[in-house]
Each structure stands twice: as structure tokens, then as C-alpha cells.
Copies of this chain bind each other. A is one copy, B any other.
């Protein structure tokens, strides 16, 4: 521990007691490695404030002392965004003890939740009031409100509700100078210049520490149904989606996967079975919901809207879940894709990328062909959130070798994929953020953008103490 770090740790312990500081290596260890096990850092202590005032005091003192801080929620970043630097130059500032839901306002349909509230707990708390916070994702049992906002998280319901940015109605944060920004007032109109709330969304903790947020809620779901479709191509999937969206706003999930990915799930994940009898090049999962018993129920809605598409031959086969257990089983297939692909095909270079929705089917075909041509023997394919123009594009080493080849050539593969995404007007990070993983690529592909982001960063955090080494 450096001398300034020691001073800070001593002060925090004196101010807030032993519970506010972890220094035992065994306690710190779980927070030094990222969710995927790809980044490892060092930190001599984890600071664990319990109130916004405590965060403000810590950040102000750290600024005085020149101690860098890595804000951390559930530590579920996919891009190394919450892992401390390897040189031990930063302490971890964990928000997990700030886990109170301060307010649920049924009339205004808003919840004020502290940064450390775990997404699943948020779901349950507002569900108890017959309300719903619609964003959800695989890591919901660990991911926290602060981290979800700092990464502008996506997930499977973005199609209808948008990513986190669209669900935030105000942010409370401690800025790098230790001042508190209070954006929780719930004003519907406030035109006092640049929105600090918006600046903090997706900032990956580099501009301050989010301590609480006011979030939008929706009516609880009364019922849902999942249709599983057999299709010829991603273009057919997009045509189906656009046809559905022209008739209803109740479609809130639309995921696609190739047959080989489904086969991987069926062979490697226990107690899974194929939703359809036949084999189809592509498959889609479509989720629809209803909020009341009075409106058309999702099963009927999906049956009514899909029938003409089956007659036209656009949908080659379809089954619609008839129970919540079946709906869960369908989602389980989707959620097991990464694990099953890894078990079946070995490791892959993964890319969380987006292009304009209507360009995605063409991009998927062209990019796979380009990659396989440039790296003969590899296999490239994508799955995921077609309706958001966001797929997870995986390149497997195939006949080129295994993990070693990937370790060596993965960065070259990724550069090609990112070049293709950029040429298609897309983004090299759709929903996972930049973190450590894509920092160099962002600087390579968007130098003007990174220059402007760095200027903003230096303006608000002149000593560059907030989450160093991430994003820019």
C-alpha cells in the first residue's frame, strides 16, 4: 500500500469504522478478477461506504491525496471495466453497502434506488407493488444499479424499453472533486445547461461515482408467451420482426440463433430439448407480454400475428409456449448459448457489436465471409438481439488450432471485425462498454471522439483518479 493509500484507508476506518474497509487479502481477492476471468488486478483495500455523504468524503479525501479509485458494483463487467489496475495504484470503492431502495412512487411510476441495489432485488421490490423495472440480463443476480447505469446496460428487453439510458430519470453522484450532484428531484423539465445525468450514463465510472438513481417503472406483467420460430435466414427474421412491430408494441424480446448453436445447447446443457421438430438454418425467440387480463393475451396475439407469416412461408415452423415453465425453458436455451458454444466448439473471439437494424442481416453474412476468407479455417457467426441491431459475433479458431491460436491471432481477428463494423456505420461496443478490452480499438478507430472524451474527462477529473485505465 502506498503512503497516500495508507492515509486514506486510515481516515476511512477512523471516520466510518472497520466495516467500511477491507484489507484482508482473502476478502479483497474476489473483487480483483473480472466476471469472465480475463482481467486480474491488484488493490490493497476495498472501501465500502454506506451513504452518499460517506462516498463524498472518501472521494474528496482521495482527490486531496491523489489516490485513484475504482468504483465497483456487482463486478459483472464483460470488458474488464471494474477490475483495478495490475500495479496496485488504485483502491476499490465498492458501492455494495449502499443497497437501499429509498422510495417507490406508485403514482409517478418511479423508484429511487441506491447504486448497490442488485438488479434482481430491484425487480422483486417493485414487483411487490405491481410494478416492473423492465431491464433484465443474465447477470441480474449480481449486477447493481450503479454499474448498470455506468455501462448503459442493454439486455434482452431493449427492443421495447430501450437500454438503461432510456430508463434513468435522474442520478445522484459524487463528482471527482467530492461534490454531490443531486439529480433526483424528479423535475419533468429542467433546462439549466449540459445534462450531468446524461454525461454519467455510460461513463464507466470515469467521471464520478453514481450513488443513487431515480428510475422509470412500468406496470407489472400479467402474462407472457414465447414463440420459437424456424427460419431460413436473418433477413427472414428481420422481416418477421418488422411485420410484428407494425401491428403491436407488445413484442419485447426478439433473439436469433443459428441451428448449430441450438444443437450445441441441446448436446451440452442438461434437460434441454428442441422447441421445433425440424432443423432450420436460423431460429428466433419472440417474447410478447400483456399487462392486464382484459387485453388480448400474448399467446393469442402471437398466434394471430404469426399465422399469416407461416402461410406466406416466411416462418417455416413455429411453436408458442403454453405455460410459464415452457417460456422459461425457451429462454434457458437462449441464455445457455455462450456456455454451450464454448463447450462444443472451444473458445471464440467474441464481439458485442451493432449496426443499423436493417443492415444487420447483410452485415452478418458479409462479415462472416470476410473473416473466414482472411483467416481460412475459422468459423464466424452471430446470435442475439437482432431487433436492436446488436449481435454477439463470435469467431472460432476452427481448424486453425485452439486457445493458443486465439490468444495469438484473436486481436487481429477483432481488428478486422471492428474495421468491418466501422465501415458499416456501426459501433464496436453495443451494450458491454469499452472498459479495458476495447480501449485501444476505440482510440484506433475513433481518434477524434477519444480526444473529445479525454478532454471532458480531464476537465472533471484533472488528476485522472476515477477508474483509471478504462474507456479512454
- Find A459's partner among B179, B388, B455 (CB 8 Å cutoff): B455
A356 near B456: Cβ-Cβ < 8 Å: no
Apart from A179-B452, A187-B389, A196-B452, 11 more pairs, CB < 8 Å: A152-B191, A154-B189, A158-B189, A165-B195, A190-B354, A192-B428, A192-B449, A193-B434, A194-B203, A455-B460, A456-B460
Q: Can you give 29 A-B contacts (C-beta < 8 A)?
A: A107-B242, A107-B358, A175-B452, A181-B449, A185-B426, A187-B355, A187-B425, A187-B427, A188-B388, A189-B354, A189-B385, A189-B390, A189-B427, A189-B431, A190-B427, A190-B430, A191-B432, A192-B429, A192-B434, A193-B202, A193-B204, A193-B434, A193-B442, A193-B453, A194-B203, A198-B201, A452-B460, A455-B460, A456-B456
How many copies, total?
2
Write the A381-402 contact mask toward B (1 if CB under 8 angstroms, else 0): 0000100111000000000000
Question: Would A188 and B426 be within 8 Å (CB), given that A195-B201, A198-B198, A456-B460 are in contact?
Answer: no
A436 within 8 A of B: no
Question: Would A199 and B202 be within 8 Å (CB), given that A193-B471, A389-B189 are in contact?
Answer: no
Write the A338-371 contact mask toward B (1 if CB under 8 angstroms, else 0): 0000000000000000111110000000000000
A33 within 8 A of B: no
Write the A24-56 contact mask toward B (1 if CB under 8 angstroms, else 0): 000000000000000000000000000000000
A144 within 8 A of B: no
Chain A residues proximal to chain B, CB less than 8 Å: 107-108, 151-152, 154, 158, 163, 165, 175, 179, 181, 185-196, 198-199, 201-204, 207, 242, 354-358, 385, 388-390, 425-434, 442, 446, 448-449, 452-453, 455-456, 458-460, 471-472
Distance in angstroms between the alpha carbons of A449 and B191 in the assembled complex: 13
Q: What's the minimum C-beta distance from A143 to chain B, rounded to whole angstroms? A: 15
- Find A198's partner among B195, B357, B425 (CB 8 Å cutoff): B195
Residues from chain B with a CB closer than 8 A to the CB of A449 are 181, 192-193, 196
- Find A194's partner among B357, B390, B425, B456 (CB 8 Å cutoff): B456
Distance in angstroms between the alpha carbons of A356 and B112 in the assembled complex: 15
Q: What's the minimum C-beta distance from A190 to chain B, rounded to whole angstroms? A: 4
Distance in angstroms between the alpha carbons of A207 and B425 in the assembled complex: 24
Q: Taking CB as reference atom, which chain B residue is nearest A425?
A: B185
Distance in angstroms between the alpha carbons of A108 and B202 in the assembled complex: 25
With most chain B CB atoms within 10 A of its CB, the pick from A187, A427, A458 is: A187
Residues from chain B with a CB closer than 8 A to the CB of A460 are 452, 455-456
Residues from chain B with a CB closer than 8 A to the CB of A107 are 242, 358
Residues from chain B with a CB closer than 8 A to the CB of A152 are 191
Q: Taking CB as reference atom, which chain B residue is nearest A429?
A: B191
